[in-house]
């Protein structure tokens, strides 16, 4: 009994074709997300506000089409849509394909990340209450270091 194997090559003319192919494979194979570019700097965390660009890819059963880019903003929380949870740990300038449902994938490009001030305020008040007597906090110090007051 002979086994037959077939090889084929896919030629992608541009990066949009590559993204369409990856998006189609994600839909057909039920892959949740694929990182395209890693990015750098800050990382998206729970509570972060994220400014991002989204390019949806929709599969109608025979062809996959990319729709126009949309710029949007969201605050990541436990109440966010399931696809948005895939934004966690993305870095600024990162690109990730995320499967939204059984027929669509969205390419997300993170443009800006702003972290929640509540977390930072909580850590600041903790350092103020734990400071020993005769020690004050410098409000201009971004890292929250404690400095000694002069006793004159």
Tens of pLDDT, residues 82-107: 999 999 999 999 999 999 999 999 99
Give backbone dihedrals phi and psi of 87, rounded to 5 degrees, phi first: -75, -20
Q: Which long-range contacts (CB under 8 A, 24 or more apart) does 14-21 make?
A: 16/66, 19/55, 19/57, 19/66, 19/97, 19/107, 20/57, 20/64, 20/66
The pLDDT of residue 12 is 67
The tens digit of pLDDT for each residue in 42-85 reads 999 999 999 999 999 999 998 999 998 899 999 999 999 999 99
Tell me the whole-structure pTM to 2 decimals.
Answer: 0.69
Q: Report all structural domains of the chain as residue ranges with CATH numbers, in order of start.
A: 15-115 (3.10.50.40), 118-147 (no CATH)
Which position has the higher pLDDT, 27 or 1? 27
The pLDDT of residue 24 is 93
């Amino acid at each position: 009994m002979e086994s037959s194997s077939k090889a084929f090559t896919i030629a992608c003319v541009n990066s949009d074709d590559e993204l369409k192919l990856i998006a189609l494979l994600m839909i057909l194979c039920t892959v949740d997300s694929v990182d395209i570019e890693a990015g750098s700097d800050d990382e998206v965390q729970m509570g972060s506000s994220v400014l991002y660009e989204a390019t949806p890819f929709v599969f109608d059963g025979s062809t996959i089409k990319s729709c126009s880019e949309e710029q949007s903003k969201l605050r990541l929380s436990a109440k966010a849509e399931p696809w948005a949870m895939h934004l966690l740990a993305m870095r600024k300038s990162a690109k990730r394909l995320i499967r939204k449902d059984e027929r669509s994938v969205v390419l997300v490009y993170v443009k800006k990340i702003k972290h929640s001030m509540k977390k930072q305020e909580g850590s600041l008040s903790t350092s103020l209450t734990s400071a020993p007597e005769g020690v004050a906090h410098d409000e201009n110090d971004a890292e929250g270091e404690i400095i000694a007051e002069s006793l004159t």
